[in-house]
Structure 1
């Protein structure tokens, strides 16, 4: 096995798991150059085979975020079903949508991974085909918190692949008071963390800080409410923001930031890499924050639909859930995963699994015409910050 090259091809080199962030890709992704990955040395369990009309197609084309699945699990799928897996990566939902839109059902891709907020737009343009849940029997293991979402009420087109939320992490040696809310974040950014604050490189998330502190819906389209949020972002946050970054872990390691808006899994990664994790604290802030969901889906015109269903079924299997969580840093939406993670003794489990009380107050992001206003707020904030 040591000399055998597996039929799993990545268009970017495999890099260390520790550098993974939800949306921050290192240089090299999307650049041609095939790398081979081996599953040697890992005992990867496989779920029961789904019911299909016959033998699976011999190939599967996966188009996903860079380094967003354990190569060992992909190799295990290939070995079990004798399916060659080709993996291409993209860096944004916009890139995915553009690729599928221009190909008009002839992209050649089978499985894709859009963020939930983008699915209504993709359905409007017929970019995704219906799933046959009979071919995904592991769907029965999905947590109800992450099924029947607003963007796909009956899971006709998507299944949760990973989920998370947004909060902030702060250095308790520099910020000594307890922080609980987005208002605390705004106030502290103007005081102890002035000039050492970072915001996410995401217009929706940045506006959400102010909207939440004001008590408004994070998806509001009201001009007056958005103008109030703009005032906070431009006049209170932007002048005190040092950078807009996606790789929060790097920001924590550099030591030049004391307050960072962060996705929970990325903050967990940072805590695993800094030399002084005991000095940092992550907050699931009140009153609300985003509940994002990335989803498995099948592209319209997928040339290998049976293999696509079998692959999705495998990747949401309870038997592989902990390995996926350990690799990507985010839960995959299966029931009982918190208990499995506890048995596996994974680090910082409280950052991976917010309580049901926290989940109940989160608000999933949506695409609306007001996104243009949020984009303008973000651009003006960056200009005010000198970023």
Structure 2
């Protein structure tokens, strides 16, 4: 089906925008396109948000990860309120923070999309302004799992935009035993999958494999625990790693990997594109893994605050939730989305929506002074792998 051109101005070229797709990486070490799913033949509806002074500004400047929203949904907002939406793209939270920090409230951006773990640092530098949740009535439809998170306990500055977790996917034709834990991942990488294993291009996520296998906090700052994790990553895993990649789907489709560290949505993408999806299995590993959350926020000094609130309200509407999920490959935190996805017959729904027992054991990543140690572990692992 041919998609009509939306009434949205992309300041970044579409080719570049594809390369900057959000879930290519968590921390911005290099970027691989996600290849978002098309959303054809759908009618986009919205619940209007009342502007603070009765009338929205005529413009809205969105600064986000590349190709991270269905253009049809943005176009519907423009058509409803006659607001010109301009979209600019970045490739990492660091790039976002630097842009807002150097501009000192004059960036010209209204709505931004920081990852939860980066929100405390951004608040410390006064880069985000408080939300008026009375202007975002669709906030009531956000699942309680994604409200009041540690980085913004009262949702004073942020609203969930999308969420996901980390696990691994393996080829069951090459690995004929059930894998369920991070220790299984470490063992298999040294045995059946030696030389055909891929790790994510992300220091925190790589270190988390070993820390989870050890049964300690994924956010530990204990140097002894991190030293033990270094031994597992550098001495046991690294010699058997074929590549460090941003998107597991790329490795699955490429065909030379049997075991891949993966974000759940990227694994889902791979399963929809490989020739033999029945040969692959994704695992939500025990005992824990990252629960990442990307958020809607308004930049300090936003020139169009009324339009910004109305836009966020539109983007989290239950009426647009399935269309957003279909396009970006990750749920947006709206209540009842799993039921909507089932009615829409979306593929691989078990990968999109972990069971509550899985959600309960996940641990959101946090920025800590020990991140430098994780970066050193990652660099040492790459060197040991010859990457």
Aligned residue number for residue 366 of structure 2: 366
Tell me the SS of whatever aligns to 1:286: coil
CA separation of 1:40/1:134 partners in 2, compared to 1, >3 Å: closer, same or farther? same
- The answer to whether 1:103 aligns with 2:103 is yes
Aligned residue number for residue 232 of structure 1: 232
Q: How does 1:138-149 map to 2 (within 5 A)?
A: 138-149=138-149
Aligned residue number for residue 150 of structure 1: 150
- The answer to whether 1:350 aligns with 2:350 is yes
Give the superposed CA RMSD: 2.0
User: In the alignment, is the contact (CA less than 8 A) between 1:288 and 1:363 conserved in 2?
Assistant: yes
Aligned residue number for residue 273 of structure 2: 273
User: In the alignment, is the contact (CA less than 8 A) between 1:21 and 1:247 conserved in 2?
Assistant: no
User: In the alignment, is the contact (CA less than 8 A) between 1:50 and 1:137 conserved in 2?
Assistant: no
Alpha-carbon distance, 1:140 to partner: 0.4
Distance in 1 (alpha carbons) for counterparts of 2:175 and 2:266: 20
Alpha-carbon distance, 1:291 to partner: 0.2
Q: What is the aligned length? A: 375
User: In the alignment, is the contact (CA less than 8 A) between 1:147 and 1:160 conserved in 2?
Assistant: yes
* 1:220-265 C-alpha deviation (Å, 9 max, x unpaired): 0001000000000000110000111012111001110000000000
User: In the alignment, is the contact (CA less than 8 A) between 2:24 and 2:32 conserved in 1?
Assistant: no
Distance in 2 (alpha carbons) for counterparts of 1:69 and 1:3: 16
Aligned residue number for residue 10 of structure 2: 9
User: In the alignment, is the contact (CA less than 8 A) between 1:18 and 1:269 conserved in 2?
Assistant: no
Aligned residue number for residue 55 of structure 2: 55
User: In the alignment, is the contact (CA less than 8 A) between 2:20 and 2:90 conserved in 1?
Assistant: no
User: In the alignment, is the contact (CA less than 8 A) between 1:168 and 1:261 conserved in 2?
Assistant: yes
Tell me the SS of whatever aligns to 1:219: coil
Distance in 1 (alpha carbons) for counterparts of 2:51 and 2:214: 50
Tell me the SS of whatever aligns to 2:154: coil
Aligned residue number for residue 28 of structure 2: none
Distance in 2 (alpha carbons) for counterparts of 1:98 and 1:218: 27
Aligned residue number for residue 128 of structure 1: 128
User: In the alignment, is the contact (CA less than 8 A) between 2:196 and 2:242 conserved in 1?
Assistant: yes
Aligned residue number for residue 89 of structure 2: 89
Alpha-carbon distance, 1:50 to partner: 3.2
- Which runs of no fewer than 5 residues in structure 2 stay unpaired? 26-30, 34-38
CA separation of 1:16/1:279 partners in 2, compared to 1, >3 Å: closer, same or farther? farther
Distance in 1 (alpha carbons) for counterparts of 2:86 and 2:285: 40
User: In the alignment, is the contact (CA less than 8 A) between 2:6 and 2:71 conserved in 1?
Assistant: no
Aligned residue number for residue 294 of structure 1: 294
User: In the alignment, is the contact (CA less than 8 A) between 1:17 and 1:327 conserved in 2?
Assistant: no
* 1:56-111 C-alpha deviation (Å, 9 max, x unpaired): 00000000000000000001100110000000000000000110110010100000
Distance in 1 (alpha carbons) for counterparts of 2:298 and 2:114: 10
TM-score (norm 2): 0.93
Distance in 1 (alpha carbons) for counterparts of 2:337 and 2:385: 41
Alpha-carbon distance, 1:13 to partner: 1.2
- Which runs of no fewer than 5 residues in structure 1 stay unpaired? 28-38
User: In the alignment, is the contact (CA less than 8 A) between 2:48 and 2:313 conserved in 1?
Assistant: no
CA separation of 1:240/1:77 partners in 2, compared to 1, >3 Å: closer, same or farther? same
Q: Which moved more, 1:348-357 or 1:10-19?
A: 10-19
Aligned residue number for residue 77 of structure 2: 77
User: In the alignment, is the contact (CA less than 8 A) between 1:169 and 1:283 conserved in 2?
Assistant: yes
CA separation of 1:248/1:321 partners in 2, compared to 1, >3 Å: closer, same or farther? same
CA separation of 1:84/1:16 partners in 2, compared to 1, >3 Å: closer, same or farther? closer
